[in-house]
Structure 1
Amino acid sequence: MRMRATVAALTGALALSALVVPAAQADDPSYRQAAAEAFAAHHGASSAASTSARSYGITAAAEGTMDVSFSNFKIAKAVKVGTTNHVSTTVTYKLTHGTDVDIHAADFATGPYIYKGAFDTPANMLFGVYAATCADTSATTATCTGDIDVYPYDGELFNSDAGTWKGAALALDYTTGDYADQGSLGSTLVQRYSKLTVNASPEPVKKGKTLTVTGKLSRANWEDNKYHGYTGQSVQLQYRKKSSSTYTTVKTVKTSSTGTLKTTVKASADGYYRFSFAGTSTTPAVKAAGDYVDVK
């Protein structure tokens, strides 16, 4: 089941966003839905979200008493999200629990999630579609592995969401409504996927003549599911000789208001030209494939 797991601060409360359910899975129980609704109920969400949470036996009065804690949260440094493709990143963490908690019971579930903003009032959250799997390391500890799933085409992200997110994990009991969660376990960058092109012309060119090198730096727009130029960014023009495997930087060029790049160089020898972008906190680094130029 897919859902937009966005929660937003609204008059001091959290409002759970609308559920998106593919027809083929409409009757399946959803860990993702239960996890988001449990969080909403526990953190003082709107009455509608709390009512939905109660359908899983989760009530505000019952929550927060589960003897479970989390540590050793490990996630990729960056999660790069485009405009259409489902993105999944794996998280591992340590779960420590009391002897009265059966983490292998059918009504127990745990999973990682990431959130943007404050833990109690996040601007957005992303969960995994399925609960994590856990392997015991002792009578009261386990190593758990779960995914964070992102469906950009379903409107799960706004452009303003790009940047640093924090890691968290939760556990819940579907029968009793018991619940535990913990934030600030780690961090990752959720970034707008980037693209970079290059073209050097004319080809072929006489030695010593001027080459014009053009290209474009663009990145995913999560609000219209298209790619738009990334303006005002410094991009390096790099060159490597045909006989070499190493690129060297020729000059630095800034993108225009539409993300385009244009500069000139003197042709010296057969070789490849490319643009290279170092990246920002919101947009990953990217290199264009080298464009070969035959110099006569």
Structure 2
Amino acid sequence: MRLPLIAPMLATPGTLPPAGQDARWAYETKQDGQRVVVYLPGDGSLELRARSGEVITGAYPELRPLGGVLGAMPAVLDGEVVAPDERGHGDFQRLQSRMGLAHSPAMAARRAAETPVHLVLFDVMFLGRDLTALPYARRRHALEGLALAGPHWSTPGALVGHGAQALEATRESGLEGLVCKRLDSVYEPGVRSRSWIKIRNVRTADVIVGGWLPGRGRLSGLPGALLVGQREAGRLRYVGRVGTGWSEAERVELARLLRVVETRTCPFDRDPRVPGAHWVLPRLVGEVRYGTRTRAGLLRQPSWLRLRPDLAPEDSAADLP
């Protein structure tokens, strides 16, 4: 049958629901992958659409067998494609080698053998009929009743209540975060809703400034981004660039400090080969927050918090993987 196109419902960044409302919410692990809507028309085929609506079925050939699992029952499912690392956690860096290959079947097949993906399913919007007006609790019950578990797909459980414990468990396990979903919430296609709240686990780290990149436009003459590192076995290891988090006054003050310590020599143990970089002596220490690290140890989505004049560069030991 011809299935309705349904845009994925989106979560709003926020914090845990009040303790008194905890039992009215379900908690799911936040995945670090590519959001997909899965169309199963009931004829053995499968179509995957990205959040943009683009058809990306060809990028993930190992998911095609899912098309026949429900037999003739037509369905539309919500989920996320992840590329698990050695711990079983979704690794977006690994997934990037699989994305963008929807129209390159030979390359997609080779990459599938090298870096297989897994589809995490967490909602059902259509199952023989439109379910979007049903509350989350009923949709979740319907999804779990499908028992979708296979070599490349699964339906992880959702915990009702105990949000604080669930969030702490994701932090201890090094997971992306938590998604809180109100039990009585309907599915709102394409809407960023307060009925779904996402909480990203944020970490902080002390870093040493080793260089900077000039800003553009209104930031001309000021640093647009800082190139930062951390000490490891006496060496300064590059861990990425930070381009957000400053007020205008803080950026002006950083520009002044950077001029004082400028040098022609890259201070990192390995030159990161960043075009247009200005190097500085590794004397300024700052604190940044970030989401996770790449396999190479680079900070993902770092944001500047503050200078740490109370720390000497040699004191800022790394928490490198």
| Structure 1 length-normalised TM | 0.25
Query: Is the strand fraction higher in 1 or 2?
Result: 1
More helix by share: 2
**Length-normalised TM-score, structure 2:** 0.24
